[in-house]
Amino acid sequence: MHLLARLTFQSDQAFGTLAGRMLERGLIERVPGPGRAARHRLTEKGYELRKAGGHIVERVLADSFSALTPTQLATFDKLLIRLLGSPELS
């Protein structure tokens, strides 16, 4: 959950609160992890909502960056990865 918190620009505590709400709404479920750790995974309902949201995000991004050429988009992508400084994203 820590990595998800980082990738969504939230604190661990804020993401934990979000995860709690997602559990209550049946979007994720807890599953056993290594040792005493618990992991979370999307439920079918959560997967369907993520999929629908993904389509919306794709349309917004396509509209937002439609003025850029493929070369400019590739450059922009590299610059964002560098600015974020996150090895997981490169």
What DSSP letter does each residue of 37-51 carry, written as one string?
-EEEEE-HHHHHHHH
β-sheet bridge partners, residue 28: 42
Q: Which pLDDT score is estimated for 88?
A: 58
* Banded pLDDT at 36 (limits 50, 70, 90): confident
Q: What is the CATH number of the domain that holds 68?
A: 1.10.10.10
Instruction: With a cut of 70, say whether residue 52 has pLDDT above it.
Output: yes
For residue 8, what are the domain limits? 2-89
For residue 64, name the pLDDT band (cuts at 50, 70, 90).
very high
- Report pTM: 0.66
Higher pLDDT, residue 35 or 68 = 68
Q: What is the gyration radius of the CA atoms in the chain, in angstroms?
A: 17
- How many domains does one find in the chain? 1
User: For residue 38, what are the β-bridge partners?
Assistant: 32
